[in-house]
Structure 1
């Protein structure tokens, strides 16, 4: 009761144990022949040994044949190892179970539990094994799942490391610029610097021309203002003349005075008109000069526009040059990849040609050997009828000899089976006799001990 109260697993019923071991532990044929009656009311030793052996095979992958093997270092000291095979199987099974059962929280296991098992003790041991197998199954699935994930992660890690190595190799290839492209890049850089210097010089010239055009425009505006002032003065003079004519008197003296004044004024006006005509001529010439300057300015503006368009086209050309340089680099990379692929294909073609040549030589050798073999076979076929008759005679003689041998083998098998049955009966009798002997020895020891105690009491003084 104290041992049962200390258990950390439940003791199952016989039906549950039989169903579990039939479905989970035993093989298909063994499960068909296994039933509840093998465990209750009387336990069969062969059944218990088979259950323990299949449990070890299920848990540790120990084949049943390994239990029947005697170690090599022991077979040298044993005269007839065949006599010890049955005992070694039981002892090795007992040793394995003593190592395995503590993991099932079963610590009391003896050799008698294999040779003469008891119902309650066997049910207790099988309940511990069943509890352990229930505990082990989800853990095994969990470990297998994690093992699969670990293998997948390892494969993924290897693929990623290969990808990283390939990427590093490609980066090294991309960073290394060939000498031809380096020379071309230097030439393009020098051409670009020269183009920028020429563009800066042309920009300076264009700015100077713009400044001169602005000065010419300011001068022309001043002169147009002077012309407008002169025109206003002439129009005021004409208005003054009209006002003076309207104010002319009829007296002769006044007329003379007015005429003199008018003559003087006419003379002054003529002189002024002459001067104004001269000034107008000068202005016309200056206007022509200004028109000529305007045409020159327009030409300069058109030249500036052409320069601007030329600069834009130069920028576009530079962009196109950059694009073509990048296209050249891309094409050179593609050419390199194509060259590597071509080298690879050439190597593969060379290897294929070598393989083809080797295969041709092999086929030629095989044809020659096949022809030789066919010739030899044809020669043998010619001799086949004679050999067939000889073989028929030989087979008849062997069959005649095999019949008494088969009869002897059958007799020996029957005698061996009878011997093993008798040996098992003798073994059971010997084990029962040994148990009785041990009990009688213990009883005799108790009697001797009691007699010795009685003699000691009689020998004491009263």
Structure 2
């Protein structure tokens, strides 16, 4: 089981994954890796996954250079340090915590395989996380639209609330005046209600008294009319003494006067009752007017309460809108952060595509250069081949001439050999003859042999 948090890929899988990024690395490179091999590979991976281009890696940090005494001495060290820093961050994010400069300048095949496996696993993990980008983007757009609508509704509610506040502030003096008038009318109405309650019972009693007095006056009028008729009748019938008649008339006159006084008193009491009834009617009219004013005041108060309720409702809606806007703002901030992450990933993918494109263009240019080199080499080889063919023809001609010369020389040598052989045979014959003969002949043979040897 692997001791790492990522699968340890085979050399062929690593080469395939790097090939997708436009990096041509063969499995044989892992046996004896070098700085010239791993540095471009790491640089391409940093450009793709960290989002730092090669130009940015080579760009010096001007703020840091300004603090150096001899900045020209650090033209290469500062970009190299920036590259090593980004590479260390990439490996740390990939799960490699023990990266060192030795992995770059004196790489080991096993550690290189482990580091590249971690980075490739991290790259695939990032690509898998980008799948949710479309959903997040759609959700973000819907939330942005909801946020805009909520902000528009919030602005409308703010405008309506401000308008209601201005209206309330403008109508506040009238409201206070109507409130004071309503309170005064309430007080007056309460007093009038009490007075009306007291007068109602009194009016009822007065009406009863007036009815009784009216009945009594009517009875008295009837009695008076009856008494007058009786007086006239008696006057026509009386034949008694004038003294009795005068006494009777005086008694009748006194009774009549009393009846008249009673009628006058009843009429006076009736007039008083009518006056008091008129006063009660006037009070009732005043009470009706006060009630009408109270109804108007109640309407104004109702309007004020309605406005107050509307203000409270708008305030509640405003608070709810502000709360929703706060939630939408928090959600928007979260989505902005997520969008920043996704945009960073998109930029990384763009960088990756750019690196792939650049690598592909570089490969195309390299292949074109190789093609031109091959064509030049083929042309040179063709020229060399033609030259070699001419040389071969020359050599063949010379060989033929040499062979002919050799054959001629051989024939000459054979001729000379045959002559020499004949001379040797002659010599052997003479030698044999000399050996069989005397001494002087032997000395001549010896001299002749010496000459032959020379």
TM-score range, shorter chain: 0.3 to 0.5
Structure 1-normalised TM-score? 0.36
Q: Which has the higher contact order (CA 8 A, sep 6+)?
A: 2
Structure 2-normalised TM-score? 0.37
**Larger gyration radius, structure 1 or structure 2:** 2
